[in-house]
Structure 1
Amino acid sequence: MSEDPWLNANEQRAWRSFLGMQRQLSTHLYRHLQREFGLSGSDYEILVNLSESPTGRMRAFELGEATDWEKSRMSHHLTRMAQRGLVRREPCAEDTRYADIVLTDEGRNAIAEAAPHHAANVRAWFIEAVGPERLAVIEEASDAVLTALTHHDNQADHG
C-alpha cells in the first residue's frame, strides 16, 4: 500500500467516474424495476436469489450471506415481501427452530416478468455501452478488487 493516502488527479477522476457510473446505473435500473414492475432493487435481489435456488427456498441467514445484508434489514424486508405475497416463511424441514424463506407463485411470476426486462436494460446501459474489449477489463479489475477485499477481511479475522 502506498505511503501517500491521497489520490493523484488521474486516480481521483477515475474513482469519481466509477462512483458516478455505479450510482446512476443502479438508480436507472432500480427506478425501472419500481415503475414497471412494482419491485424495489432489494425485492429483486431477494427474488433472484430464491429463484436461482433449486428448491425456491433458502434460510434467512443464507439470503443474508448472499446479499451481504444485516440480519435486521433482512428480517424487516422479508416481512414486507411476505405481506405483499412474494415470499412466505415455512418451518425448516431439517431444523424446526429456523424458518425457510420460500418463493411464492406470485414471487416467481414477478421475477419471471421483471428479469428479462432488467437483463435487457443491463445489456443496453452497461454491456453495450462498455463494449466487449472493455468488458473483459472491467471483469478482471472487479475480480482484483474482490480479491483484495477478501484478503483484507481474512487479515482482519486473523488478527
Structure 2
Amino acid sequence: MSGTGGHEDGEEPRWLDEQEKAAWTGLVSLVLLLPGKLESPLRQEHGLTLFEYLVLSHLSEAQGRTLRMGELAFLASGSLSRLSNVIKRCEQRGWVVRTPDPADGRYTLAALTDLGFDIVREAAPTHLRAVRGVVLDALSTADQKALTRIADKLRIVPDDFG
C-alpha cells in the first residue's frame, strides 16, 4: 500500500454494499464472540479451554485414540505450534502421551490416556449443551445445512498446512 492512502495497483477499494456489510459484520461477531461462549462453561466446570477440549475430543474419536500431530492440528483447526503447546500441558496432566510413529519416525503420535478419556467423557455433556444452546437450537435443519456449506467455502487451513 502506498503512503498516499491509495492502493499500489491504483484501483479504488470495492466498498461493501449493505448486504455485504451485514454478512461481514455478522461473521465477525460470530468469530469474535462464539469461541468465548463455547469456552466459558468448559473453563468453569472442567478447567479446559475450547481448543484443549477439541484436541482431546478428536483423540477420543480416533482409532486407538491416537493421531499424528499434524492430522490432529488440522482436525482441531490449529497450528502445529499451538497444538504442541497444548499437548505438552496435556502430557503434564497425564491426559496424553507422545511417541514417535512406528510406521514413520519422522512423525509424532499423540495418544489419549485413560485419564484423558475420562476428562473428555466428563466434559462432553457440558460442551454439547453449549453447542446446542448457543448455536444449533437456534437454527433450522436448512440453516444448519447452509452453515455447513458456508463453512466449507470459507475453510481456512492453518499456515503450516497450506
- TM bin, normalised by shorter chain, reads 0.7 to 0.9
- 8 Å CA contact 2:96–2:116 kept in 1: the answer is yes
Tell me how large the CA RMSD over aligned residues is: 2.4
Which structure 2 residues correspond to residues 1-159 of structure 1 after superposition, within 5 A? 5-96=14-105, 98-146=107-155
> CA offset at residue 62 of structure 1?
2.0
Query: For residue 45 of structure 1, what is the amino acid of its counterpart?
Result: L
Deviation at residue 95 of structure 1 after TM alignment = 3.4
Greater CA deviation, 133-142 or 22-31? 133-142
1:39 counterpart SS class: coil
Name the CA shift for 1:39/1:131 in 2 (closer, same or farther; >3 Å). Answer: same
Q: Give the unaligned 5+ runs of structure 2.
A: 1-11
Q: Does the 8 A contact of 2:51 with 2:76 survive in 1? A: no
Q: Which moved more, 1:134-143 or 1:110-119?
A: 134-143
Q: Deviations over 1:64-119 (max 9, x none)?
A: 23234333222222111111111112343323454321101111011111112211
| One-letter amino acid of the structure 1 residue matched with residue 152 of structure 2 | D
Structure 2 distance, partners of 1:40, 1:19, is 21
Higher helix share: 1
Q: Which ranges of structure 1 fall in alignment gaps of 5 or more residues?
A: 151-156
Deviation at 1:63, TM superposition (A): 1.5
Tell me the TM-score normalised to structure 1 length: 0.79
- Between the aligned partners of 1:68 and 1:133, the Cα distance in structure 2 is 25
Q: TM-score, normalised by structure 2?
A: 0.78
Aligned to 1:153: none
- Alpha-carbon distance change, 126 to 70 in structure 1, aligned in 2, over 3 angstroms: closer
| Residues in 2 aligned to 1:38 and 1:71: alpha-carbon distance in whole angstroms | 22
